[in-house]
Structure 1
């Protein structure tokens, strides 16, 4: 995630919280997309994870730089502004809102892309980022692999990044679920952020994307390994989210209720326990506290302190439903993967949600599903992938219909690159996957058991970014 918001404007009522979200509305001509993707860093010589400060020479193993050195190298290459936390560089901010580089708790290296108009631009952004970061990483003997779950390291072996908010989260997570620390330290995702034109447009897009988020999980499943062995899942990342923190995650059944609105989401968010309140450079641990109490100046951990815009924006960033509403909608259901899959994820959702005809067609597919059916599908997908069923239909069958609608939406957008190609080609990897009836996870598992001879090391060579 990118830099925490800093805006000390006081907030005095729930109406102001609702208005803050509503201020994200844009006319369709101003719609943008922003892609975020994470990757695991490892030392190429022994496949060890990369700590923040690097490693000293020992036992014939050379000294090597760490995550800090990657950030400093990227700062020198790009000229971006460093983001600091208690004297540590923990990210970079691009010029004029042009994206950011940030760290997840276990050192997962993330690019939060700039808001752009076309998929061609986000693909070019990814290509440029990978070229830059690999050039810097090579100097330190560091490589990257992009999968939904850490394939080799135990949680104890995984490094911890020096970010104040993550210390608070790590202390709180075991109190509300059994897998929260695995989520923080051992998962990677790819997301896309998309705009809405009005409250009604937000509601329609939220409902369609929530209902189809398990399909995205199945299509992008790439996490069949844990600690060097098969774990029995196609998306271990998604399975981990099933027992992380039920109060702030999940399928948001209320979004399908009559009268769904910005206010309904705000009411839900107000009842999700807080993690922290940031004042200046200090993170105050208020884990379990109520934003309603902060709004009223009655938060027990900070008596008399009143809520600000930054408190609200930061609180919303600590909510983790399958689709998250801020001043845009975040699609959160997919494992990270190889570059072609990182580009396919925004293509999938842009084709569905930014074309009115495709959005209507997608709603026709999902509108009859009950909350219980949607939840059952979400629970089944991490293990079953495209073989999971809903309303007596297999997900692989639904995938063909939805991908056809996404392709049609991209074709109607007709956003072409310099060679005249439209955006539909970014869906090719997903259509090939559905045609072969085989996810990335299933392919990895098969190769592990056959040509790799039960060894995980080939993964780091063949899937190195």
Structure 2
């Protein structure tokens, strides 16, 4: 959601429907050896003394003004509800990525402490209702558009946070690291990642009945905005069709509020009397929020923000290992293939498998088994990717504490809420 806004004052160079197809095919899947990795880490911001009290807009504005002057290697942006996002530059290795983001986070935290603020890792704000901090034409239009499908859009904009792993699209040729296999794997493994890292069971301090409420919100936004293309056929063709058939969120204006058309697809816009420009196409793609977004690389968007200062390292390390190590990628492919058959033909995340991952997480037996296999493969692969002992220890600790036991950070949040820490939940928590 932190994509840059293109300049709508540029000269208009319209694009036709065939040109859109060609452009999308060319820019969204850039194939080659998997060499780089990145991560986008989102955080909720809270007061250090009273984390459960809302932070005032004035306090946020003062802190964020100071953050803009920090010498960071990562891009630091603000989400509509005041969440912070740190986006790493492409790194040549997993450890380079972790080192860059860790150093930048230390700098950001130190500056926030001077303003009495800290960062909290939850997939969905467990305390406060959605409240918008940024009031800009883009977010005014987004709110108007998303309100048409219910309250989930505002929750996504203002109350959610994630760990987004960015990986190269892969080789043009078939194989464990081929772009077709990686595209398929990203969507099928995505449900396992939702389940294994579920960390958003609360809203308004009350259990929602879902261990990943953040994923529930994405599903409720609707398939046109947050769905995925069908996975049969060429990924480029499927994504190009999806972009063309997705609804237009807004038509930008040089002055005044932006238009928010209802039911207008980008394909229909290209056939209108006032067709869109290349800049409009770029902007339209930035308003689509699928679980996996191709941006030249693959952006995996389904993982809840994690607790602890370094909790984000584990999903980054595990996901990178399962995609970039050929043996681990093959193991993950075999582990999730039965899950794909269970999910049926519907595209993720709008299918029973992803719903089960968001509601029950690793309490689902098949997701639990797939997660156990995938974590074991990642642990075996990480030394081959140069992971340090510290990273390996963090992954093993998560594996022992959560995955092997069929639990997630969401389960621990519910334990603390109900006063049953360390004991199984009753059925009323899960349903």
Q: Distance in 2 between matches of 1:425 and 1:77?
A: 31
Q: Distance in 2 between matches of 1:319 and 1:429?
A: 35
Q: Say yes or no: does 1:398 pair with 2:367.
A: no
Q: Distance in 2 between matches of 1:283 and 1:26?
A: 39
RMSD: 2.7
- Structure 2 residue aligned with 1:268, among 242, 248, 268? 242
Matches within 5 A, 1:260-409: 260-278=234-252, 284-288=258-262, 289-296=264-271, 298=272, 304-308=274-278, 310-338=279-307, 339-368=309-338, 369-370=340-341, 372-373=343-344, 375-389=351-365, 394-409=366-381
Structure 1 residues 272 and 118, CA, compared in 2 at 3 Å: closer, same or farther? Answer: same
Q: Distance in 1 between matches of 2:101 and 2:190?
A: 23
Once the two structures are superposed, residues 384-425 of structure 1 have per-residue CA deviations (whole angstroms, 9 ceiling, x without a partner) of 110224xxxx22111111112223333333x256xxx59645
User: Contact between 1:411 and 1:422, CA under 8 Å: does it hold in 2?
Assistant: no
- CA displacement at 1:15 relative to structure 2: 4.5
Secondary structure of the structure 1 residue equivalent to 2:55: coil
- CA displacement at 1:451 relative to structure 2: 8.0
Q: Say yes or no: does 1:150 pair with 2:120.
A: no
Q: Distance in 2 between matches of 1:315 and 1:409?
A: 38
Q: Say yes or no: does 1:166 pair with 2:166.
A: no
Structure 1 residues 17 and 101, CA, compared in 2 at 3 Å: closer, same or farther? Answer: farther
Secondary structure of the structure 2 residue equivalent to 1:285: coil
> Who is 1:116 aligned against?
91
- CA displacement at 1:173 relative to structure 2: 1.0
- CA displacement at 1:370 relative to structure 2: 2.5
Q: Distance in 1 between matches of 2:312 and 2:25?
A: 27
Matches within 5 A, 1:193-212: 193-199=166-172, 201-212=178-189
In structure 1, runs of 5+ residues without a counterpart are 55-64, 79-93, 453-465
> Who is 2:48 aligned against?
44
* Structure with the higher strand share, 1 or 2: 1
- CA displacement at 1:283 relative to structure 2: 7.0
Secondary structure of the structure 2 residue equivalent to 1:247: helix
User: Contact between 2:14 and 2:275, CA under 8 Å: does it hold in 1?
Assistant: no
Q: Distance in 2 between matches of 1:119 and 1:426?
A: 14
> Who is 1:234 aligned against?
211
Q: TM-score with structure 2 length normalisation?
A: 0.84
Q: Distance in 2 between matches of 1:280 and 1:320?
A: 25
Secondary structure of the structure 2 residue equivalent to 1:28: coil
> Who is 2:66 aligned against?
73
Once the two structures are superposed, residues 229-250 of structure 1 have per-residue CA deviations (whole angstroms, 9 ceiling, x without a partner) of 3333211111222211222223
Q: Distance in 2 between matches of 1:366 and 1:436?
A: 19
User: Contact between 1:37 and 1:336, CA under 8 Å: does it hold in 2?
Assistant: yes
User: Contact between 1:316 and 1:326, CA under 8 Å: does it hold in 2?
Assistant: no
Q: Say yes or no: does 1:34 pair with 2:4.
A: no
User: Contact between 1:354 and 1:409, CA under 8 Å: does it hold in 2?
Assistant: no
Q: TM-score with structure 1 length normalisation?
A: 0.78
Q: Distance in 2 between matches of 1:416 and 1:181?
A: 38
Structure 1 residues 141 and 164, CA, compared in 2 at 3 Å: closer, same or farther? Answer: same
User: Contact between 1:242 and 1:250, CA under 8 Å: does it hold in 2?
Assistant: yes
Structure 1 residues 136 and 312, CA, compared in 2 at 3 Å: closer, same or farther? Answer: same
Once the two structures are superposed, residues 346-372 of structure 1 have per-residue CA deviations (whole angstroms, 9 ceiling, x without a partner) of 212211111233223322233343263
Q: Say yes or no: does 1:25 pair with 2:30.
A: yes
User: Contact between 1:410 and 1:422, CA under 8 Å: does it hold in 2?
Assistant: no
Matches within 5 A, 1:91-130: 98-130=73-105
Secondary structure of the structure 2 residue equivalent to 1:242: helix
